[in-house]
């Protein structure tokens, strides 16, 4: 690596870029109901807006992964700052569904571009410790969500007798600060080439490596880990607001646990191996999600704590597994896996938005509609009935999602034993070759 490469500064700038990504999740999660109220959005429309970030992300990460080796990581990251800047400004001046839709798309494109460049950047900067360093980098995703939710909770000015935030535009504008900082840093620093380029793996070899059973399996499993972590996190305030008065703090607790867990990723990954960590994660995610869907009151915070332990290592360890075990797939491999996961969250969010409205409608009096009961002109009695329906509908969505981590337990158990037997066979073959 060139002596002019300041890898610590590049790593700090990468973390700052990911902070913007995570702030967009944390702040938006706390403002979703406010936007629904201010702009007269249905839950399905809110689901579409939320999901737009998740499919804007894969568009950027997949395309970015394909061109990052050609145009370089620096240009991609400057472009990410531009996407974030325009997305944040348009959100501040939003007037309804379409402006929120477009602004969320721009922020999603910025988020995906950050991942498209920063994941291979971190792997290139720390080739000797990729999975651990990717966990340290992705620490800033839950870290930013914690900061974002706390900003909404403590600095949001609520409209009297409601849970709606009056100064939401100022809260969104907070994201401009780290956006300007990381855009400036990346524009000044020198970048290395990607690890795939430096190792001499050709473009043809890279694309050939994508067509292997192991890559296909990891690609599919990423759908489940991403939905389990990100759908639940983005929707937790909406789903459980009527079950617990501090639903947004559940997200804060969950992501706070993730921050601490990723900070100690080094000893955890080295002790249990990446596949062992993924199996452990699936088990705890299942237990936590079950508690979130079947308990009330303070026990929900216990569920959020357990769930946070579960989803803590999913995303960075999946990417680390690809980088370490399928290195020839390069930046494209890491970004296809990440993009596939986000795309799965997008489609799942749209489907669940409609399903949630359907459940609400079924729990209202005969002939009643969700839109009528959500209207600002609705009577107090109608609002009370709707809130009771939401109290029942939220846990039902969580319990439906519970099936995904249950499947992941079986899948990661199989992957764990497969990788262990493979390493034992390699060790035996090496021992025989020496003898």
User: Where exactly are the structural domains of the chain?
Assistant: 9-424
Q: Which has more confidence, 183 or 53?
A: 183
Q: What is the mean pLDDT of the chain?
A: 86
Q: Which fold has domain 9-424?
A: Growth Hormone; Chain: A; (1.20.1250)
- Whether 166 shows a pLDDT value over 90: the answer reads no
pLDDT, tens digit (0-9, with 9 covering 90-100), for 72-89: 899 999 999 999 999 999
Q: What pLDDT is recorded for position 335?
A: 86
Query: Whole-angstrom Cα distance, residue 210 to residue 213?
Result: 9
- Whether 198 shows a pLDDT value over 70: the answer reads yes
Query: Whole-angstrom Cα distance, residue 50 to residue 73?
Result: 27
Per-residue pLDDT, averaged over 212-226, amounts to: 96
Q: What pLDDT is recorded for position 131?
A: 82
Residue among 27, 50, 19, 37 nearest 235 (CA): 50
The crossing angle, in degrees rounded to 10, of helices 247-263 and 265-294 is 160
Q: What pLDDT is recorded for position 361?
A: 83
Residue that is written with structure tokens 């894969």 in the block: 58
- pLDDT-derived band at 430, boundaries 50, 70, 90: low
Q: What pLDDT is recorded for position 106?
A: 93
Q: Which has more confidence, 288 or 2?
A: 288
- pLDDT-derived band at 435, boundaries 50, 70, 90: low
Per-residue pLDDT, averaged over 101-114, amounts to: 92
Among 51-60, 123-132, 154-163, 394-403, the range of highest mean pLDDT: 394-403
pLDDT, tens digit (0-9, with 9 covering 90-100), for 222-241: 999 999 998 887 777 666 76
Asked whether 24 and 53 are in contact (CB, 8 A), the reply is yes
Percent of all residues in the chain with a pLDDT value above 90, rounded to a whole number: 36
- Whether 98 shows a pLDDT value over 70: the answer reads yes
Percent of all residues in the chain with a pLDDT value above 70, rounded to a whole number: 93
Task: List the Cα angle 312/310/146 in 5-degree steps.
Answer: 45
Q: What region does 200 belong to: left with phi over 0, alpha with psi -120 to 50, or beta? A: left
Q: What pLDDT is recorded for position 240?
A: 76
């Amino acid at each position: 690596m060139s002596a002019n490469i300041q890898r610590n500064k590049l790593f700090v700038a990468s973390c700052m870029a990911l902070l913007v990504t995570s702030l967009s999740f944390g702040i938006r999660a706390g403002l979703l109901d406010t936007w629904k109220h201010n702009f007269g959005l249905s839950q399905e429309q809110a689901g579409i807006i939320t999901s737009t970030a998740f499919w804007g992300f894969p568009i950027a990460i997949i395309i970015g992964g394909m061109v990052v080796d050609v145009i370089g990581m620096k240009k991609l990251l400057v472009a990410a700052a531009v996407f974030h800047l325009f997305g944040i400004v348009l959100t501040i001046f939003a007037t309804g569904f379409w402006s929120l839709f477009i602004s969320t798309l721009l922020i999603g494109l910025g988020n995906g571009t950050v991942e498209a460049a920063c994941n291979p950047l971190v792997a290139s900067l720390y080739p000797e410790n990729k999975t651990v360093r990717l966990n340290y980098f992705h620490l800033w995703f839950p870290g930013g969500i914690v900061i974002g939710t706390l900003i909404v909770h403590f600095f949001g000015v609520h409209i009297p007798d409601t849970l709606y935030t009056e100064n939401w535009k100022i809260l969104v504008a907070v994201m401009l600060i780290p956006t300007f900082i990381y855009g400036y840093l990346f524009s000044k620093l020198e970048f290395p080439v990607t690890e795939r380029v430096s190792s001499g793996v050709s473009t043809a070899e890279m694309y050939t490596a994508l067509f292997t059973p192991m890559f296909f399996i990891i690609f599919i499993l990423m759908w489940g880990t991403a939905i389990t972590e990100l759908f639940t996190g983005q929707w937790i305030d909406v789903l459980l607001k009527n079950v617990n008065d501090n639903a947004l703090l559940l997200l804060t607790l969950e992501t706070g646990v993730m921050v601490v867990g990723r900070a100690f990723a080094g000893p955890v990954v080295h002790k249990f191996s990446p596949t062992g960590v993924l199996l452990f994660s699936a088990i705890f995610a299942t237990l936590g999600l079950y508690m979130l869907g079947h308990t009330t009151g303070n026990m929900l915070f216990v569920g959020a704590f357990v769930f946070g332990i579960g989803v803590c290592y999913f995303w960075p360890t999946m990417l680390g597994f690809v980088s370490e075990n399928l290195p020839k797939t390069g930046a494209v491999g890491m970004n296809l896996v990440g993009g596939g996961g986000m795309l799965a969250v997008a489609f799942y969010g749209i489907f669940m938005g409609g399903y949630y409205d359907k459940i609400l409608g079924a729990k209202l009096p005969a002939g009643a509609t969700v839109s009528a009961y959500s209207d600002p002109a609705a009577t107090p009695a109608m609002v009370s009935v709707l809130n009771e329906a939401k109290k029942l509908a939220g846990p039902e969505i969580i319990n439906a999602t519970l099936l995904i981590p249950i499947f992941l337990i079986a899948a990661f158990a199989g992957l764990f034993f497969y990788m262990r037997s493979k390493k034992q066979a390699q060790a035996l073959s090496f021992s025989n070759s020496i003898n």
